[in-house]
Amino acid sequence: MAVAVSAVVLTLAALAVIPGALDSEPDVPPDELRIATGSPNGVYYRYGEGIRDVLAQRLPQLRARVVETPGAGSNLEMVDATTAELGFVQADIAADFRARDVRVVALARLYDDYLHVVVRADSQVETVAGLRGMRVSLGAVGSGTAVTAKRLLLAAGVDAEKPGELNISPLGLAESAEAMENGRIDAFFFSGGLPVERILTLKGRVPIRLLDTGELVPKLRGGRPYYSAHVIPPSAYGLGEPVSTLAVPNYLMVREDMPADTAYAIIRAIFEGRETLAAKHVAAERLNVRAAINTDPVPLHPGAVRYYREIKP
């Protein structure tokens, strides 16, 4: 904890010496602003709706709208290709893209995703390794869930790329929940903020459990410091027992060539509209400046740096 706090203090100190903070309202020209999110049943989509509503109130000239996507990987591709202006992206996906020639940077760290590995309550499977040979949904193609799920499985000794290891279905959240309800799959992965509404809905229809994956996290952290072990509390889904699992931060990403005034205005509107965001999903209640500036290994947009310098604690 001391290391994390020290890192935040150092980052804030660095921000304090960056010149050019805006003291007045920025000049943001009219434009369309597409927000790449995820499935309508997931946190990205609901959070994106909140950002859309905040911008409609505070920056109506941007004409913000939410775009449904498969998830984090697609979102980053869209922002880089200028088919979206904002995108929700997991830190592990963003780190992978940093090795490529992409022009994307961060406005903020928003909240952490928790990897859910869902099975029926009467399933004989107790561990991730026990999924070998089972019918499993790893998430939609292009989603962050699919990437993280494969890494977790490999840490458990299950190679999802090896023929015969798993009977894989590349389903999104809604399709995964429906398939489990109808008995077509034995397990599914989903990475999302707490609580995931579609998983809550599924629990109301069929008894389910979450597999504990915390013991696998140390195997994943080598070279990936953004991964951590967190606990899904019993209150999240009313399942009775806490579940240790893998957590990964989510960043709000933009292209590096977004005008500084626009980036500044967007992140300021988001922070000033936190109540509106939280009304869409409780994950937005976790938005705070000390966490928002920690987007390693992705740099912050200069416009975001201006804002954080302006309001630094």
Q: In Å, how far are 45, 71, 312 from 190, measured between CA atoms?
A: 14, 11, 34
Q: Find tokens 């998983």 and name the residue.
A: 199
Instruction: Kindly indicate whether the domain formed by 113-248 is annotated with CATH number 3.40.190.10.
Output: yes
CATH 3.40.190.10 domain locations along the chain: 2-110+250-311, 113-248
CB 165 within 8 A of CB 158: yes
Q: Which CATH number fits domain 2-110+250-311: 3.30.460.30, 3.30.460.80, 2.60.40.10, 3.40.190.10?
A: 3.40.190.10
Q: Whose CA is closest to 212, among 167, 152, 166?
A: 152
d(C-alpha 7, C-alpha 12), whole Å: 9
pLDDT at 7: 38
Can you tell me whether residue 162 is helix, strand or coil?
A: coil
- What pLDDT is stored for residue 84 in this prediction? 97
Instruction: Print the SS3 string covering the chain.
Output: CHHHHHHHHHHHHHHHCCCCCCCCCCCCCCCCEEEECCCCCCHHHHHHHHHHHHHHHHCHHHCEEEECCCCHHHHHHHHHCCCCCEEEEEHHHHHHHHCCCCCEEEEEEEEEEEEEEEEECCCCCCCCHHHCCCEEECCCCCCHHHHHHHHHHHHCCCCCCCCCCCEEECCCHHHHHHHHHCCCCCEEEEEECCCCHHHHHHHCCCCEEECCCHHHHHHHCCCCCCCEEEEECHHHHCCCCCEEEEEEEEEEEEECCCCHHHHHHHHHHHHHCHHHHHHHCHHHHHCCHHHHCCCCCCCECHHHHHHHHHHCC
125 CB neighbour count, 10 Å cutoff: 18
**Residue 208: its pLDDT value, please?**
98
Phi, psi of 279 (to 5 degrees): -70, -25
Closest CA to 22 of 277, 259, 276, 282: 259
Report the SS3 class of residue 116: strand
CA 298-189-129 angle, to 5 degrees, is 105
**Rounded CA separation 23/206 (Å):** 55
Please give the helix or strand (H or E) that residue 11 lies within, else none. helix 2-16
Q: pLDDT tens, position by position, for the chain (313 residues)?
A: 333 333 333 344 444 433 333 344 566 767 899 999 998 878 999 999 999 999 999 999 999 999 999 999 999 999 999 999 999 999 999 998 887 778 999 999 999 999 999 999 999 999 999 999 999 999 999 899 999 999 999 999 999 999 999 999 999 999 999 999 999 999 999 999 999 999 999 999 999 999 999 999 999 988 899 999 999 999 999 998 999 999 999 999 999 999 999 999 999 999 999 999 999 999 999 999 999 999 999 999 999 999 999 998 6
The CA-CA-CA angle for residues 157, 161, 166, to 5°, reads 70
Helices of type H across 81-143: 91-98
State the pLDDT at residue 44.
95
Residue 10 has a pLDDT of 38
